[in-house]
Amino acid sequence: MTIADRPDSAGTAKKPAVRVFVAVKVADDIAKQLSEMAGELRELPVRLVASADIHLTLFPPWNETAIPAAVAKLQNVAATAAAFTLTFRRLCYGPETKRPRLLWAECEPDEKLSALHGALLRAFGQAGHRTFIPHVTVARIRGDGRIVARKHPIGRPLAFSQRVETIELMQSPPPGGTGYRVLASLSLGGTSAAVSTQAGQAPPP
């Protein structure tokens, strides 16, 4: 929810909303390799994703004013979810091959990953959301994606995989800014949470 930065009826200043989302951080070594592959498009009208920012989105961005409450809700989901292996299977353009907007790495739709995604949708009130296509974006196309795809066709099989034992609540940069920030990291199948000191107070134990 978005709330204006002005005092409420009680005279208490309302906190500004923070743009956040839930994601899986891609392992550093895999992210670097994907970033190098995306670098082949450097001379074309695309915006490359920095290797440190490469992630798989589990729940799309929203505006949040109560970070501790969001972390607590996410912690409840993580506690009942199972760790899983994230498998990268193909580097290609998407989501539409005829008019692509992204260069992404498609991931195997693992049963545990799909169950986690469904649990997040229910927890955050988005049940019945569109079909989940697990992917990792490595570049965003500016302009006509058909021209980019025609100049540099890509359809490359991948053989990367990583063990996923945590999920993250991440903060998007402000307009014009760069870099995502991890606000909290939640262990799958456990109850531990590492919360950034800049994210607000930690959730209740």
- Are 165 and 145 in contact by the 8 Å Cβ rule? The answer is no
* CATH 2.40.10.120 matches 18-195: no
Q: Chain-centre distance of CA 36, in angstroms?
A: 20
87-117 pLDDT per residue, tens: 999 999 999 988 999 999 999 999 999 999 9
The structural domains of the chain, with segments of one domain joined by +, span 18-195
What predicted TM-score, i.e. pTM, was given to this entire model? Answer: 0.85
- What pLDDT digit, counting tens, does each position of 47-73 carry? 999 999 999 999 999 999 999 999 999
